[in-house]
Amino acid sequence: MLERALCLAATLNCALWPVAHAQSVPAVRAPSVEVEGESAYGPVDGYDAERSATATRTDTLIRDVPQSVQVVPRAVIEDQTAFDLIDVLENVSNVQPQDNDNSDESFVIRGFNNDTSAARDGAGFKINGSTARSDLAGVERVEVLKGPASVLYGTTDPGGMINIVSKRPLARPDYVATLTAGSFDFYRAAADASGPVTRSLRYRFNAVYERSESFRDFFVEPESVYLAPTVSWNPRPSTELIVFAEYQKTDTQLDPGLPVLPGGRIPDIPFSRYYGEAFAGFEVPVYQLRYVFEESLNDRWSLRATGAVQDSESEETRIEFRGFEDDEKTLNREARRQRTREVRYSVQNELVGKLRAGDFGHTVLAGIAYSEDRQSETDEGFELDAIDVFDPVYSATLGPRIERLSFDQELDALGLYVQDQIRVSQAWILVAGLRFDRYHRSDRFRGGDIGDLDAKVRDRAFSPRLGAVYQPAEWLSVYANTARSFRPQIGVQQSGIGADAERGRQIEAGIKFDLFDNRASATLSVFDIRKENVLTTDPGQANFVLQTGEQRSRGVEIDIAGDIAPGLKVIANAALLDAVVVEDPVIAKGTDAVNAPRLSGRFWGIYRFRGEPLSGLTLGAGLTAVSNRNGNLFEPYNVPGYVRLDAVIAYRLNHRIQFSLNFKNVTDKQYINSAGSNAVYPGAPFSVFGKVELRL
């Protein structure tokens, strides 16, 4: 599969080459070549991003987009010493972690689970949780497009989409080494090297080695390696080819969390206590290759071809809780051993034009996308000794095998899409888009209670989006949009028919405005999202599903980022959310969505001293607040809210050396970060991380 994708990419680039040079016209600079000012694909000066390509797939001012788009730049990641997406996305309103068992990343965006809609550079969607957590060493910015995004990306969740924008090669030599050490024997060494090879060829290479213990009483020290070479080739100002490669290997202990008693009570146990076994681990190497080819045909038209291939093979053994005995101290457990192999590739070809028709200005986008996903999985269940939660004794071994299931999936999807960004006047912008997707899904189940079953689904989906922006002043935008989404699902009904795609629709309105003499910006939005065709476990047969559910999410949110005073940078958010079940044959109507707090927010600010004698010193602090949440749809229970305080002190000795100390959970607050059906996942206690940055 990998060879096939590489051949396809090479053939595509060669095919585009003669087309791109068929006209003898003045060339224009490709979008990602370094020019003055911010690019949607490059670094942000400070905390406030002005441009993004996530919402429109064109380099567009965020204030011209009729949808909420939030950007967390590299500067925030560095100042907060963020290690993964869970840390980064706290800076975005209405984004919460779904669980925290160390295997992968999934989130709740605007009240809806988001485990399929994570993209890298706009391509290569992650279909399931078989891949490890994203290392941030090769990341330039993390962007969140709120609401349905299927019009340009196909399969997405209705709450929103996460797009990780990679670092690109630099035109000047730059070499940075970072050493970090901290609480719980945390050690991390990272290197970032970039520069030109020739006038037309550049490179960038990021490498990381990380090893640590945990505040949880793990038997195994988590360890990871990350390598990310990137090259860009500019044979002429109008042409650019960028090839990204990534390798990440993760070996970690899987965490089943803390068990929950009936009614959602947590036993009086230390938050550090681990109820797994030494053999409960997760190991996965992930290989990924992406490319971006751009060609400016003339001053109006350009071609863009992007693609990604990902190959991962994971092996994991996890411990699952199976409830307490009547004594409320004996915890029944089961072990699951899972092996997963996934290969996925996708290609997208687009034509972008900037035109005028009368008094109207148009930015037209037309594209075709094709993707394939092949996944094979075996899942075995084993008996495992119960454990006393107050006096745990470890060294249990796998008992007799309970069941063995195998699952093979093939998903092919073809999408055609068009979009027009219309500048109607100085004050009005309209954005209209439509996508048609045709997909074929084949699921093959073997073993277990479900028996031998083949389920096939062929379906098609139309995903429109319509939005308008009104700008009565240069500093103010008022916008509204409506959009739809779809997502194929894994599941079989007792009739043997595969599950239909989940459908979502949104209505959103808001304002975007600049603050403090355009040094900062804010987005205030209100929204209503409906999700239909939601799957529910069939109460008559746990291996089958029912598909009649509907959920609704509505809320208000505000995000602010930028310089609010000389030397003072801030990124902050606040949200009010009401996400509930509207209709379901099993779940009670009105049940709150899981991990979807009614109130949440974060404030983070740093102050850099400029004058003597404190020149070079930076002080910062952050406050995160989350209200109570529901922990289970079927048997709801309350997960208490929390307030957490973080801080940083940094000193730049000169332009080459900087020292920093990050303090996380300064007050040593015991809190629950996220919840599962019968377990909760605690947040880390007070932690300190020291970092030294050397720029050569």
As a whole number, the mean pLDDT across the chain is 89
Strands (E), 256-400: 258-259, 281-296, 301-324, 330-357, 360-388
Burial 494-515 (b: 16+ CB within 10 A, else e): eeeebbbbbbbbbebbbbbbbb
Which whole-number Å values give the CA distances from 132 to 82, 84, 105, 548, in the listed order? Answer: 16, 11, 7, 32
* Number of neighbouring beta carbons within 10 Å of residue 663: 19
Higher pLDDT among residues 19 and 603, named by residue: 603
Q: How far apart are CA 287 and CA 521, in angstroms?
A: 37
CA dihedral defined by 258, 264, 267, 271, rounded to 10 degrees? Answer: 40
Amino acid at site 169: P
If you search the block for the tokens 């003072």, which residue do you land on?
568
Three-state DSSP at 85 gives helix
Contact 521, 514 (CB under 8 A): yes
Q: How far apart are CA 333 and CA 217, in angstroms?
A: 18
Mean pLDDT, residues 302-324 taken together: 92
Encoding tokens for residue 361? 């200005």
Max distance between CA atoms of the chain, in angstroms, equals 82
Q: How far apart are CA 244 and CA 241, in angstroms?
A: 10
Q: Is the pLDDT of residue 625 over 90?
A: yes
In a 13 Å sphere around the CA of 575, the CA atoms on its Cβ side amount to 31
Q: What is the CA radius of gyration of the chain?
A: 25
pLDDT at 450: 67
Give just the sign of the alpha carbon dihedral 16, 22, 27, 28: negative
CA dihedral defined by 609, 614, 616, 618, rounded to 10 degrees? Answer: -50
Pick from 288, 292, 287: nearest CA to 307? 292
Which whole-number Å values give the CA distances from 569 to 93, 536, 605, in the listed order? Answer: 18, 45, 6
Amino acid at site 505: R
pLDDT at 124: 53
Contact 531, 547 (CB under 8 A): no
Q: Is the pLDDT of residue 72 over 70?
A: yes
Q: Is the pLDDT of residue 446 over 70?
A: yes
Strands (E), 566-683: 568-583, 599-608, 617-626, 629-630, 638-639, 642-652, 657-664, 672-675, 679-682
Residue-wise DSSP of 19-84: HHTSS-------TTS--SS--TTS--SSS---EESTTTSS-EEGGG-SS-EEEEEHHHHHHHT--S
In tens, the pLDDT along 166-183 reads: 999 999 999 999 999 999
Mean pLDDT, residues 56-76 taken together: 97
pLDDT at 2: 37
Which whole-number Å values give the CA distances from 197 to 191, 261, 326, 611, in the listed order? Answer: 18, 61, 69, 39
Mean pLDDT, residues 445-454 taken together: 76
Report which secondary-structure segment, H or E, holds 7: helix 2-20
In tens, the pLDDT along 635-688 reads: 899 999 999 999 999 999 999 999 999 999 999 999 999 998 789 999 999 999
DSSP 266: P
Q: How far apart are CA 645 and CA 573, in angstroms?
A: 15
In tens, the pLDDT along 516-536 reads: 999 999 999 999 999 998 888
CA dihedral defined by 113, 118, 124, 125, rounded to 10 degrees? Answer: 0
In tens, the pLDDT along 466-498 reads: 999 999 999 999 999 999 999 888 777 766 677
Amino acid at site 599: L
Q: How far apart are CA 81 and CA 392, in angstroms?
A: 35
* Number of neighbouring beta carbons within 10 Å of residue 333: 20
In tens, the pLDDT along 349-388 reads: 999 999 998 889 999 999 999 999 999 999 999 999 999 9
Residue-wise DSSP of 486-554: EE----B-TTSPBPPPEEEEEEEEEEEEEETTTTEEEEEEEEEEEEEEEEEE-TT-TTSEEEEEEEEEE
Band of residue 10 on the pLDDT scale cut at 50, 70, 90: very low
Pairing mode, if any, of strands 160-166 and 118-120?
Answer: parallel
pTM of the model: 0.91
Contact 406, 424 (CB under 8 A): no
Q: How far apart are CA 205 and CA 169, in angstroms?
A: 8
pLDDT at 386: 96
Q: Is the pLDDT of residue 441 over 90?
A: no
Encoding tokens for residue 393? 């004794």
pLDDT at 5: 42
Three-state DSSP at 663 gives strand
DSSP 91: G
Q: How far apart are CA 120 and CA 139, in angstroms?
A: 10
Q: How far apart are CA 54 and CA 43, in angstroms?
A: 15
Q: Is the pLDDT of residue 306 over 60?
A: yes
Mean pLDDT, residues 19-33 taken together: 33
Q: What residues pair up with 143 in beta bridges, in sequence order?
A: 71, 163
Q: How far apart are CA 418 and CA 351, in angstroms?
A: 10
The vertex-497 CA angle with 493 and 500, nearest 5°, equals: 85
In tens, the pLDDT along 95-136 reads: 999 877 767 778 999 999 887 657 888 875 554 444 567 889
